[in-house]
Structure 1
Amino acid sequence: MGYKHDYDKAMFRLSTIITRLYQGEELSVAELSKEFSVSPRTVQRDFNNRLNNLPIEMVKKRWRLRDGCTIEKILPIDELVVAQIIEKISQDIGGEFYTKAKNLLSRIQNNEFNPIYTRIDMEDISGHLAEINLLEQAIKRQCYISALYKNEDKTDFITVKPLKLANFEGFWYLIAMEDDVPYIKKYHFKSLCGITIQDKTFTRTPNIDEAIQNAMGIWFRIHEEPFEVRLFVDAKIAKFFRRKPLSKTQVIDSVGVDGSLELSIKITHEMEIIPIVQYWMPYMRVIEPLWIHEKIVENIKKYLL
């Protein structure tokens, strides 16, 4: 325990020093030694051995960042672009999540202008960071959790095997399994409360990650064999499905002389594809299976009543 405690103190001290250097402060060994309750020799060793890869120099007995040095000149350009994209995505999420992300990213970005724009409609779960941390621990340790689940006017007490926290169509879900239930269940994350990690452990479902990656929506089913759907895509929208496939299973079967496409994808539930086809109507339709096409036609008739 003593070793870990000393390590944590050292990491806190080093991260604080680095942050303050990049904020433009000039740091004295003597002042830092008093601030962190360590010997001047320890602080000097920090600069000489642990921080010697940074562009820093001592001027008049104070350590500072060399003139003209910023974090932008140290990080590779691709990492800076990633940081800018992460900042904009976190801004779309909003709330406390964006505040924390902004504070973190400000340590590696000095410019206030971000040339990146994103538009991601996503639930704000920043007020539930403690619950996310609990679920992460339970998933990694493969421990059961118990919680209260508020579903419309009803509240149920559940005990489940948590498998993944996933986002579909902007909503966050806990993917989990219950004992004696042969299929996975999806719980709206913000409708869970009172999450408690249990001592009981479970064996992780082996193909959950692949199933989620191939899924086209929250309707996916992990214990059912995927089946193929063939789609016609009008030339007017074909470019969108060349740029961004519907799913990892998408295959372009043929290209028409006018630029139209015939695609095939694999799904486990019809509701993975029906909302997508209805969104793109009249420029997309189901070729096979016929029963899905007929369901969409029926939906259109009901809408026109």
Structure 2
Amino acid sequence: MNEHDKIATRLALILQKLVSKERFTIEELCEEFNVNKRTIQRDINERLAFLPIKKENGFYFAESFTFGDLSFKDIQAFATLCGIKSLYPALTNEFIVDLLNIKTSQAYLIKSFNHESITNQQKSFEAISAWILKHQQISCTYKNKQRVLNPYKLVNINGIWYLGADEDGTFKTFTFSKMTNLKFLDTQFSENPEFLELLRKNEITWFSNSTFDATLQINANVAEYFFRRALLPNQKIIEQNDEYLILSTKVSYEDELFSIVKYWLPHIKILQPRECSKICVSTK
């Protein structure tokens, strides 16, 4: 992991503490991240200076911290800082208003900070978002087949954008970047209560009818990041030694697995399935 990635990961974890309303000292962060006091002070006083961080009796915290309390500049700075600015095609002031609006944010679901760039599909992304809120159908070509869909939600799972939509009464997911010939129809549709209930519960099971197991080997020098929080879906530790960590995970699509692995290359490799390992190596 290069120096920029280390900083971004550390800052993201500090932000997570702030969002969770945790209180911490400089010394505690030094020990957790294995860095010196000067580095943590720079994180708080320079890199995170745009955030309303308070200090009381040596403890740092963000009182009543929510994203809704931040200004446009704060949100943009956060996005640029933590590497999620290109998660959305256009992180403009207007689009941020949409994201912070309770009704509009129902069109989106984010499950990670990793991301693919879909800047060249910005207009389509925003149009689908609008059609989701208006309950109007769209048509597209997907896997060489013309389809008419009732769109429900744009979902980002481990860096890949998907559209959750009803096709002929069946709830399916479509990789957004692979949808072509998009057309936005005037036909309105009635939402299916069963699909709404799945979305309300925020269950990932609706995302795919099937999952597959994958086994990954992570080098010891980055293993700590996988201990601090589950970076992989359904992450389980299989083996650990001084050289590497072996984890198992369950994913729905190959793209989901590749997105995670490519972010951590060259410190990670796929052991199983073999075919995924070969594809990932060939696309480095």
After TM superposition, the score normalised by the length of structure 1 is 0.47
Structure with more contact order per residue of length (Cα contacts < 8 Å, sep ≥ 6) = 2
Which structure's CA Rg is the greater one?
Answer: 1
After TM superposition, the score normalised by the length of structure 2 is 0.50
